[in-house]
Structure 1
Amino acid sequence: MTSLLERVGVDAATLGLWRSIVVYNGQPWRRRGLDRFLAALIGPGDLAFDIGAHVGSRSRALARIGARVVAFEPQPLFADYLARRLDPSRIRLDRRAVGREPGEATLAISARHPTVSTLSNDWRNRVAADEGFRRVEWDARVSVEVTTLDALIEEYGEPAFCKIDVEGHEGEVLAGLSRPLRCVAFEYTPATLDLAGECLDRLASLGPYEFNFVIGEEAAFRIPSFLPLEAFRERLAEEADRNRRSGDVYARLVERPA
């Protein structure tokens, strides 16, 4: 099917966009579960950051439960799609990437698999040898503006929930944060679990957090209760070794530091 579409003039980047739309926005039966899951974390009127918004599935879910949403997406094709599709009265689009410090950076884009486009050369080189990334080619580059979470908080306010899905760049995003946030979610992959460990350590250095996780696109926590850092680190390593599927870690602030 892909080769047929390419023969009639549909380019790989457009195919990648369509594939992501089908995967993330084309399964409406999942929306109710996702909405319930997110509503247990934040409430109507809360501010939420969606860093790595992709085709906007999480941004839309957050908006449906009444959150005020800022969606960050530096990939030009996807940012243009979001600009056409998102309701600006409920979701604000920001085309900047987020990192350790402000400036410019090079985004490596996979036209066929745009969900794994990344600012992290280290992550890209490491996962390239993993079976799950065997067919991925990062075949385009684009320069993007980078800001920091601290700067964004000054601009938009402090989010009650911050989701970070930036393909191995999550630690760099958290390095630009100097205060604890109420709830943070970041992606992990079994092939680079040490990077998730760095994110855990960074959050623990900012405040007293407890942790849980979700596998894939499931809308339910994998374990029945949040765990302290070291117990969670062991549990996540066990799951990653057994399951070999990516997921998201959720960090919940226990209490504000005095």
Structure 2
Amino acid sequence: MVPDLIIDVGMHQGQDTDFYLTKGFRVIGIDADIHSIDSAKERFKTYIDTNQFIPLHCAISDVDHETVLFNLSQESIWNSLNVDIANRHASLKDTVSVQSRTLASIFEEYGVPHYCKIDIEGYDDRCLQTLVPLHELPTYISVESECIGEAESISDQDAQRTLDTLHRLGYQRFKLVDQASLAVLTNSNKFYKDSTQLLQKVVRKLQSVRRKQQLYKTVGYGFTPGSSGPFGEWLAGTWSDYKTAKKMLHMHRHDYFSLPQALNYGFWCDWHATF
């Protein structure tokens, strides 16, 4: 394991890459959208010159060195190998050919990182599956809990698949993080509430402001919208075992999908895991 290395899978606009570089880590930033790669080359040129940052243009999948079709959305945060995700609200902009890599082969080439962030819109679990044969894994890892298209739906059991894969890989401790607020969810509080009510909107806004202030005090960095946020011991709260994490996922999913404003693809959380 390379203690100062982070691999950012699904770099997008470089929000998280900037955080990792600011904290002194070496970063491999991966994205299938050449516009994200070109932007990162310009934004992080100083870090590239000192070999602290390496941008990689490829699509992370479950096959290595093949040409695959990658779908670009007008909402670039929805760019995906899954056309149904990229085309939410008829927002598909273009489809391009990109070379694929597996995360396992990236680890073999650059080393196993201290932390790996995975955010690739619907292919996260396939990305994890390629790590099963490896004997060494990142100390910390994060991955989207679920991601589906506008017309799709999944059961609780299917929504549990990413957690199951992390557990199969050997990870024993977990945190579930709401990505819109970067709040670490717990097994006892009702986080998702009806925000159509004016009072609840005000309360959530105040909570969000306080949370961002606390994050800045803890981490010393101001996260912008779309960031995956802090990782590892920078995360608040306590780690949960697999059994507790599974119950927590089901509880929060049920709370979210009971809301009148819930979207079928709107449960937007990351799993963070460690040993």
Partners of 2:139 and 2:112 lie apart in 1 by 9
1:105 to 68, 80, 86: 68
Q: Is the 8 A contact 2:116 2:140 kept in 1?
A: yes
Letter in 1 for 2:70: L
Residue matched to 2:142: 185
- Structure 2: which amino acid aligns with 1:249? W
Q: Kindly indicate whether residue 176 of structure 2 is the aligned counterpart of residue 213 of structure 1.
A: yes
Trace 1:38-49 onto structure 2 (pairs within 5 A).
46-49=4-7
Q: Percent identity?
A: 22
C-alpha displacement at 1:195, in angstroms?
Answer: 5.3
CA contact (8 A) 2:180 2:268 kept: no
- Asked whether the 8 Å contact 2:144–2:268 carries over to 1, the reply is yes
Q: In 1, are the aligned partners of 2:3 and 2:113 still within 8 Å (CA)?
A: no
Corresponding residue number in structure 1 for 2:82: 120
Q: Does structure 2 conserve the Cα–Cα contact (< 8 Å) formed by 1:47 and 1:69? A: yes
Measure how far apart 1:50 and its partner are. 0.3
Instruction: Compute the RMSD of aligned alpha carbons.
Output: 2.3
Q: Any stretches of 5+ residues in structure 2 without a counterpart? A: 148-152, 187-236, 257-265
Matches within 5 A, 1:147-186: 147-177=101-131, 178-179=133-134, 180-186=137-143
Preserved CA contact (<8 Å) 2:146 2:162: no
Query: Which secondary structure state, in structure 2, belongs to the residue aligned with residue 100 of structure 1?
Result: coil
- Indicate which of 29, 53, 58 corresponds to 2:11: 53
Deviations 1:176-235 (A, max 9, x none): 213332111011347556555222222212214211111124344223321122221121
Paired with 2:177 and 2:128, the residues of 1 have a C-alpha distance of 19
CA, structure 1 residues 92+212, in 2 after alignment: closer, same or farther (shift >3 Å)?
same
Cα distance change, pair 209–118 in 1 and its aligned pair in 2 (3 A):
same
Which amino acid is the alignment partner of residue 255 of structure 2?
R
Higher relative contact order by CA 8 Å / sep ≥ 6: 1 or 2?
2
After superposition, the Cα gap between the structure-2 partners of 1:217 and 1:47, relative to the gap in structure 1 and judged at 3 Å, is farther
Mapped to 2, the partners of 1:67 and 1:240 lie a distance apart of 34
Q: In the aligned structure 2, how far is the partner of 1:115 from the partner of 1:54?
A: 7
Aligned residues: 201
Aligned to 1:69, which of 24, 27, 42?
27
Whether 1:247 and 2:269 are equivalent positions in the alignment is yes
CA contact (8 A) 1:162 1:183 kept: yes
TM-score, normalised to structure 2, is: 0.67
The answer to whether structure 1 residue 143 and structure 2 residue 97 are counterparts is: yes
| C-alpha distance in structure 2 between counterparts of 1:115 and 1:218, whole Å | 16
State the distance in 1 between where 2:158 and 2:26 align: 29
Query: Which residue number corresponds to residue 229 of structure 2?
Result: none
Please, what TM-score do these two structures have when normalized by structure 1? 0.71
Offset at residue 120 of structure 1 (A)? 2.4
- Cα distance 1:196–1:52, how it changes in 2: closer, same or farther (>3 A)? farther
- Counterpart-to-counterpart distance in 1, 2:40 and 2:112: 23
| One-letter amino acid of the counterpart of residue 105, structure 1 | V
- Given that residues 108 and 119 in structure 1 are in contact (C-alpha distance below 8 angstroms), is that contact kept between their aligned partners in structure 2? yes
Moved more, 89-98 or 218-227: 218-227
Match of 1:79 among 34, 37, 40: 37
Cα distance between partner residues in 1 of 2:247 and 2:62: 27
Distance 2:124 2:37 in 1: 19
